[in-house]
Amino acid sequence: MESNLGNNGAAGGTGDNVETQKIVKRDAPATGANDRRDAAQYLRREIATRLIQAVWRGDLVETIDRTPFEMRPKGSEAPYRCCIYKERAILRLRCLSALGFAVEDDDEFRPLSEYAKRALERTEPEPPTLTVADVACRGCVEGRYRSTNVCQGCLTRPCLVNCNFGAISVVDGKSVVDPSKCKGCGRCAAVCPYRAIVKVRVPCEEACPVAAIHKGADGRAEIDLARCVSCGRCARACPFGAVMDRSQIVDVAQLLGEARRRRIEAKVGNCQEGQNGQNGQSGEESGEGQNGDKPQVRRLVALFAPALVGQFAGTLEQITAALLKLGFDDAIGVAAGADRTTVLEAEEFIERMKRGERFMTTSCCPAYVDVAAKHAPELTPFVSETATPARLTAEIAKGRDPNCVTVFIGPCVAKRVEASRDALLDYVLTFEELDAAFVAAKIDVSAVEPRQISAPASAEGRGFAVPGGVATAVETAVDALQTGVADADKITVQKICVAGFDSVGIRKLRTFATGVCPGNLVEAMACEGGCVGGPGTIRSAAVASREIKALVEHSQSIAERLVPAAVEQNDDANDPDSVVGG
């Protein structure tokens, strides 16, 4: 069994006590040197894999209390902390997060088995999305500029001369930075010829674009939920893996377990209903499962984001087949919903421009939507009102079967917030969690027999995951929808793409609303590199982007679908004898 991160022993359900440095070295050939891989990711995957397998065996409650001890048994080395006892304590909190609970609310006297019972009885996920394990937090020193012993006490004193705030002084011939006066501008560090002044960083605080994470009274990280936009950048940035997202893997594993058992029963009983899924597929980018369901059984539908391409060693057709093999009854590419978003957003853009509005921003990124709502309300009137691709894909699934359970699978932690506000989106998994499920089920995506996609999504829908993809899709649709319109009457798209928020970038977005916007269509994505750079990914943005772009190049443009209809519609609009809606 080979997964995207390599085989670390978790698939077999046995403890892997080799230091992660050795694990990484051993598994390096699995997917290439450009992949994202770190110790925290391995730990999360092993825990998730163990929990999934325990759910499928039906002994999660009975076995979960042993998990930290199996992962760090007596006499083993402690590769990351002072001793195995602290590592066990942190592993317990990681299990708690994987069960879907907030670490901050933990009663340390309550065994994991009690939490497991609650998780298995839970009917819907609980907010908030992110949680911090205080025991795992290093309590980093305060981020600021400091002068090091590399300082040579030079004659010209460029640091002293260039500081506009009087924060630099010379003590015993060496430069000293006064933190009470320092404004963090970095001029002193920039002009020092010896690079003796350095910025001491707090990774989670620096990664957060909205200053939602800070040190608490005990020096440990705390999240201000009123400010948090659930982008997950703090979780990805923390070198100790102390910031975690509350997983929904146990909830989905239960549903998958039920689906897998139904398939086994259908095979054993040679049920005729087990062949219903072979009767055909619908018209979207999807694959149907081969197991028929009894009327009272809720079908499980995977909605996989366009960013899934490039995350696993396999084709899109193989990924679709792997999802069905995992236990999903249907798998629908969210690129199909992205096509619908493209057309609706293009129509909305044209209407807004005709009304004289200055610009419109995209609305696909839930973290950006929260940034506008919480930190830049002046942007809110400019945010597109078009539903997200996830929502529109869920509408496709619910249209086929109103009673189905939808599971969005993507790179995004903030999607869990979107799902909590949308009744059509039931659960959300990250690619990292999907990888754990493939490991638990011993599914090698690259070895799965591919399943034909009946009606592929457009090139533009598939390109939503990379920077500029959404804006380019809307631009293409706007041009196509105006086919046959006189040049003087056409609306022209002037796009701006923002991928990767920081405080400076958010301030710039705010100036678009209050001042001058250099374009009329703004694509806003919270993650650097776009969706392929999200916190739930398992491959580097560069590698995944290349594979997505290769797929896009071999896909049909949405313009080929829109132009014929637009020509007919615009010809009718110019015909005074035509009847609209007849």
Query: To the nearest 5 percent, what fractions of the chain are helix, strand and coil?
Result: 45, 10, 45
Q: How many helices (H) and strands (E) does the chain have?
A: 22, 16
Residues with Cβ < 8 Å from 425, sequence gap 6 or more? 303, 390, 391, 394, 406, 408, 415, 418, 419
Predicted model pTM: 0.86
Position 285 scores a pLDDT of 65
Right CATH for 144-200 from 3.30.70.20, 3.50.50.60, 2.60.120.620, 3.40.50.1980: 3.30.70.20
Angle between helices 431-440 and 39-57 (to 10 degrees): 50
Per the CB < 8 A criterion, the answer to whether 42 and 551 are in contact is no
Q: DSSP letter at 7?
A: -
Position 142 scores a pLDDT of 83
Q: How far apart are CA 312 and CA 145, in angstroms?
A: 41
Q: Collapsing DSSP states into helix, strand and coil, what is residue 555?
A: coil
Per the CB < 8 A criterion, the answer to whether 243 and 132 are in contact is yes
The pairing of beta strand 330-333 with beta strand 286-288: antiparallel
- φ/ψ (deg, to 5) at 175: -75, 140
Position 293 scores a pLDDT of 47
Angle between helices 366-375 and 503-514 (to 10 degrees): 70
Q: Collapsing DSSP states into helix, strand and coil, what is residue 3?
A: coil
Kindly list the strands in the beta sheet with 330-333, ordered across the sheet, starting from the edge strand earlier in the chain: 286-288, 330-333, 300-304, 405-410, 427-430
Q: How far apart are CA 527 and CA 522, in angstroms?
A: 15
Q: How far apart are CA 546 and CA 536, in angstroms?
A: 18
Q: How far apart are CA 435 and CA 311, in angstroms?
A: 9
Q: Could you tell me how far CA 428 lies from the centroid of its own chain? A: 10
Span between the terminal Cα atoms of the chain, in Å:
59
Count of Cβ atoms closer than 10 Å to residue 550 Cβ: 12
- CA dihedral (80, 82, 83, 87) positive or negative: negative
- φ/ψ (deg, to 5) at 321: -65, -35
Domain boundaries along the sequence of the chain: 1-121, 144-200, 247-568
Q: Could you tell me how far CA 66 lies from the centroid of its own chain? A: 30
Per the CB < 8 A criterion, the answer to whether 68 and 55 are in contact is no
Q: How far apart are CA 211 and CA 184, in angstroms?
A: 15
Residues with Cβ < 8 Å from 291, sequence gap 6 or more? 259, 262, 263, 266, 273, 274, 276, 277, 329
Per the CB < 8 A criterion, the answer to whether 341 and 364 are in contact is yes
Q: DSSP letter at 307?
A: G
Residue-wise over 414-436: b if at least 16 C-beta within 10 A, else e?
bbbbbbbebebbbbbbbbbbbbb
Q: How far apart are CA 542 and CA 551, in angstroms?
A: 15
Q: How far apart are CA 428 and CA 407, in angstroms?
A: 5
Q: Collapsing DSSP states into helix, strand and coil, what is residue 286?
A: strand
Position 263 scores a pLDDT of 84
The HSE-up count of residue 355 (CA atoms within 13 Å, CB side) is: 10
Token representation of residue 557: 């443009």
Return the closest-CA partner of residue 470 out of 308, 344, 288.
Answer: 344
Alpha-carbon distances of 381 from 261, 445, 457, rounded to whole Å: 49, 43, 30
Per the CB < 8 A criterion, the answer to whether 536 and 430 are in contact is yes
The highest-level CATH class for domain 247-568 is alpha beta
Average pLDDT by stretches of 10, the chain with 582 residues = 35 36 34 59 96 98 98 93 95 98 95 98 94 93 90 95 95 94 94 95 94 92 96 95 97 95 77 47 50 66 96 94 96 96 97 97 97 96 98 96 97 96 98 97 96 87 97 97 92 95 91 94 96 95 94 94 65 40 30
